[in-house]
């Protein structure tokens, strides 16, 4: 069960300048709960956006750079290579960025999307979810509050 996990604005914005454009503590908590003790597959820029590797997860970085090395991570050069490394994990996660999500959309079985109900200036975007290929099976709404500046929903999609 390969899962894409992301948070995106209403126009599929993911981030700008290799950073998120919002701060949603409950979304960070959910991300941690879902991905802990699993493989997380990402691009180089996503990995480099972390201050250090995330605890209790196996990091797999996809990069075109043949000489790239990263402490605390496994470096590969294709999604196929990454997926070959996760066969013993019942739910590996693809965590971004934009290009990796585009590639991952073809191989994923599930999408865990936090939809942030606002528009943002961004340079990285989540791919459109083809409505004929994916079905929304769960949605949990959250209203903005003192810790969350925007309304948002946790949405779970499965491939038809």
- pTM of the complete model: 0.95
Which residues are CB-contacts of 7 (< 8 A; sequence separation ≥ 6)? 14, 20, 22, 24, 27, 113, 114, 115, 116, 152
Number of domains observed in the structure of the chain: 1
Residue 73: its pLDDT value, please? 96
Sign of dihedral through CA atoms 156, 25, 99, 58?
Answer: negative
Q: Which residue range(s) make up the domain with 8?
A: 3-159
Average pLDDT over residues 77-81: 97
User: What CATH number should be reported for the domain holding residue 43?
Assistant: 3.40.430.10
pLDDT above 70: percentage of residues in the chain:
100
Residue 118: its pLDDT value, please? 97
Q: Is 44 helix (H, G, I), strand (E, B) or coil?
A: helix
What is the pLDDT confidence band of residue 18, given thresholds at 50, 70 and 90?
confident
What is the pLDDT confidence band of residue 20, given thresholds at 50, 70 and 90?
confident
């Amino acid at each position: 069960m390969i899962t894409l996990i992301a948070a995106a604005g209403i126009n599929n914005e993911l981030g700008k300048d290799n950073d998120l454009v919002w701060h949603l503590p409950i979304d960070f908590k959910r991300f941690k709960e879902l991905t802990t003790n699993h493989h997380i597959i990402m691009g180089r820029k996503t990995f480099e956006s972390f201050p250090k590797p995330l605890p209790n997860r196996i990091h797999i970085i996809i990069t075109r750079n043949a000489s790239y090395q990263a402490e605390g991570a496994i470096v590969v050069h294709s999604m196929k290579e990454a997926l070959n490394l996760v066969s013993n994990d019942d739910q590996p996660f693809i965590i971004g960025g934009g290009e990796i999500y585009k590639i991952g959309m073809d191989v994923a079985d599930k999408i865990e999307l936090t939809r942030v109900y606002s528009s943002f200036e961004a340079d990285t975007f989540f791919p459109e979810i083809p409505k004929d290929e994916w079905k929304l099976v769960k949605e949990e709404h959250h209203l903005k509050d003192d810790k969350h500046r925007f309304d948002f929903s946790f949405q779970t999609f499965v491939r038809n």
